[in-house]
Amino acid sequence: MEHSPGFTPCLYKRLSFSGPSHRILWLVMLLAITYPTHPLADEQSPLPMALDGKSFQSRLGPVGQPADVDDLLVFEDGYFVSRECERRCGYAKVEYWLRTREDGIEMRAEVPCTDSGAMMYWRGTVRGDEIEGSFTWVNKRWYWTFEKEFWFEGRLVKADNP
């Protein structure tokens, strides 16, 4: 029998989750696990309110090379999109995740290409009016997988929520 992550076999055997008295315990545990704490909790959160309404004029390029592409990174209504990647390659607008840190707000997004099976994995940090980070472009085929790393940096050009 497989056990849930975090449960050792000994602990799993000692726990009994049946009977009327344990139904309340189950309910309390379920609420404790699923009840949202704060939209900007330490862990990644699907409630990206802190960046919504902001757009960053950015430059991006392959890691180790100069940034040679102008882009507009848009955070709007819980979604993230790179306008240049959307225009050039059909990358979709997607939900993004974030978390706060002492030095800024970290963001993550997994962006699929609508024209192929490629994916882009974005990760960045917003500090004040500036954003910087990187993304990995992954294109998987049955005979090979191609990965390429890019970097980006940009400055706030629009903020609907000051």
Q: What is the mean pLDDT of residues 35-40?
A: 38
Per-residue pLDDT, 57: 97
pLDDT at 39 > cutoff 60: no
Looking only at the bridges linking them, the beta strands covering 54-62 and 119-127 are: unpaired
Q: Is residue 115 domain-shared with residue 148, that is, in the same domain?
A: yes
Cα dihedral 97, 102, 104, 106 in deg (nearest 10): -20
Q: Is residue 108 domain-shared with residue 148, that is, in the same domain?
A: yes
Q: What are the tens digits of pLDDT across the range 2-25?
A: 444 443 333 333 344 455 555 554
Where residue 71 sits, what CATH number does that domain have? 2.40.128
In terms of Cα–Cα distance, which of 15, 11, 37, 36 is closest to 26? 15
Distance CA(104)–CA(122), nearest Å, equals 16
**At 60, which helix (H) or strand (E)?**
strand 54-62
Per-residue pLDDT, 132: 97
Per-residue pLDDT, 160: 74
Q: Is residue 86 domain-shared with residue 16, that is, in the same domain?
A: no
Task: Give the structural domain span for 19.
Answer: 1-35
Distance CA(160)–CA(162), nearest Å, equals 6
Q: Mapping DSSP to helix (H, G, I), strand (E, B) and coil, where does residue 117 land?
A: coil
Per-residue pLDDT, 15: 43
Q: Is residue 101 domain-shared with residue 146, that is, in the same domain?
A: yes
Q: Is 48 part of any domain?
A: no
Comparing 16 with 76, the larger pLDDT belongs to: 76
Q: Is residue 23 domain-shared with residue 73, that is, in the same domain?
A: no
For the chain, give the mean pLDDT. Answer: 77
Domains of the chain: total: 2
The pTM assigned to this predicted structure is: 0.68
Tell me the CA end-to-end span of the chain in Å, nearest whole number.
53
Q: What are the tens digits of pLDDT across the range 88-141?
A: 888 888 999 999 888 899 999 999 888 888 899 999 999 999 999 999 999 887
Phi-psi region of 102 (alpha: psi -120 to 50; beta: other; left: phi over 0): alpha
Q: Is 72 part of any domain?
A: yes
pLDDT at 41 > cutoff 50: no
Per-residue pLDDT, 19: 55
